[in-house]
Amino acid sequence: MVLAETLAITEFYLLFTRKFEGPIFYLNKLSGIVVGLYFIGIITYIMTNAVIPITKAGEWRTAIDVIAVGCYVIAGLPLVWIALQELGLVNKGLDQMGRLRIHAICVALFLIFGHVAMISGMLDPAILGYQAPHSMEINHEMPSEHAGHMK
């Protein structure tokens, strides 16, 4: 998240100053490449170790979980696009302002989907009717053999 936030903050600087040289510009470029490549790994990991197995097993608790995980995966895609752009693999025909425009749109999409993922990830699936299986519930009653020791 530090790299993504660094990317967002330096993006604002570039949008307002239009200084396409110097340490802030290169920090923006470097953080865009690193965070995009990082998210390729994150997306791959989440898809193979969470989304596919949970979907196959039918273990999504409610739409809240689907939204949280789905938005997190979607949030990473604009960062991957930024990395591809910074590495010269996409948007080759755009001038500096066109690349900046795509960059800013991608950062905005990351922030929107990332925040939706974060907020929905904090929601209790019980809001939409999920009930944990009885074996997973916490028993707050004391076993009878210990009840007499609490006087």
- 3-state SS of the chain: helix, strand, coil percent to 5? 75, 0, 25
Which of the 8 DSSP states describes residue 11?
H
Helix (H, G, I), strand (E, B) or coil at 124: coil
pLDDT tens digit sequence for 112-148: 999 999 999 999 999 998 898 875 555 556 555 555 5
Instruction: Tally helices (H) and strands (E) across the chain.
Output: 6, 0
pLDDT tens digit sequence for 9-41: 999 999 999 999 999 999 999 999 999 999 999
* Token digits of residue 52: 């596919």
d(CA 42, CA 74): 11
Please state the domain extents for the chain: 36-124
Q: pTM (2 decimals)?
A: 0.83
